[in-house]
Amino acid sequence: ESTAKIGNASVTYTLDKLLALRWSDTRRENPFTGEISGSDYPQYGILFECYNSKGELLDKQLSAKGAYQLFIYPSDVKDYDSQSAITTKSDFSDVFEYTNLDTEDFTKSAHHGQTKFRDEKDPVNLKGYAIFPKLGSQMTLNFDLYATTKGKLEGGNVSPVYAPNATVKAGNRLLHLSIPLYIYGPYSIKQYASTNDIKKPLRPIEDFAAGVVEDEDPEGKEVPLAKAAAYRLEKILGKAWANIGPDFTDNAVAPRANEKTGGMFY
């Protein structure tokens, strides 16, 4: 647990670890109709909030015009199983991508017409979506918050979310957060680990193949990836599959996404 200053407010933060599924683009063009089917998933919403010692949200302070900018970037990227370093692209897009969806009022949704999207020349990066394309990778996900006292633009351009420009760096870096992140498996593990038996909803790792629908995985590639993901989770969390598996299946119960739970928050 650490503290930092934002303006005159004291901010406390506590972090442990993050787990994510690999992002995959399954969109394909039908050769006969030309229509696109499939989707890309999963996308993870990031909503960066700070509170003072009274539990009050500092949204107005953080979103003040030209005042602050958050940067998000990976470091120490490696393959979890081999612990070998992974050389990434300069913009990290092969392991991490972020789409900024800042709104003028960060507590309301532009998507639902409650507010407007923020001026692109004045990003704060407090709200957006991230994807993680590299299966089996681990990294440190970093968050740097700057007070942009000298401005945000360099040559009329804003900084990419992963790297502050010289103008931003001339301001003050107020805090640095870092958290371990593991891209532990493919999305298919949710299906292959689940059964239709209410009394025994979790499938043992060795039985994952029983969850394959006919013609769904003709090349037999997904089941080995899903099994590897389950074993990987056991190592990351230090617990047996029987104890942790229910949290990573289609049978897991979660609140329906809405404005209050963070769903569709942009």
Instruction: Answer yes or no: is 258 within a domain.
Output: no
More confident residue, 246 or 84: 84
Whether the CB-CB separation of 181 and 140 falls below 8 Å is answered with yes
Q: From residue 16, give the alpha-carbon distance in Å to each of 9, 128, 141, 237, 262.
A: 23, 21, 12, 11, 20
Asked whether the predicted pLDDT for residue 259 surpasses 70, the reply is: no
Domain final residue, candidates 136, 160, 185:
185
Instruction: Answer yes or no: is 266 within a domain.
Output: no
Instruction: Answer yes or no: is 257 within a domain.
Output: no
The 10s digit of each residue's pLDDT in 136-174 is: 999 999 999 999 999 999 999 999 999 999 999 999 999
pLDDT value for 11: 67
The 10s digit of each residue's pLDDT in 36-47 is: 877 788 999 898
Domain final residue, candidates 185, 209, 238:
185
Asked whether the predicted pLDDT for residue 225 surpasses 70, the reply is: yes
Q: How many domains does the structure of the chain reveal?
A: 2
pLDDT value for 206: 96
Residues pairing with 57 in the sheet: 51
pTM of the model: 0.87
What single-letter DSSP state applies at residue 217? S
Whether the CB-CB separation of 185 and 192 falls below 8 Å is answered with no
Nearest to 13 by CA among 1, 26, 23: 1
The 10s digit of each residue's pLDDT in 170-194 is: 999 998 888 999 999 999 999 899 9
> Residues 43-70: what's their mean pLDDT?
91
Host domain of residue 22: 2-185
Residues 106 and 211 placed together within one structural domain of the fold = no
Residues 100 and 206 placed together within one structural domain of the fold = no
Residues 119 and 211 placed together within one structural domain of the fold = no
pLDDT value for 213: 78
Q: How far apart are CA 113 and CA 118, in angstroms?
A: 13
> Which pLDDT band, with edges at 50, 70 and 90, does 6 fall under?
low
Domain final residue, candidates 148, 166, 185:
185
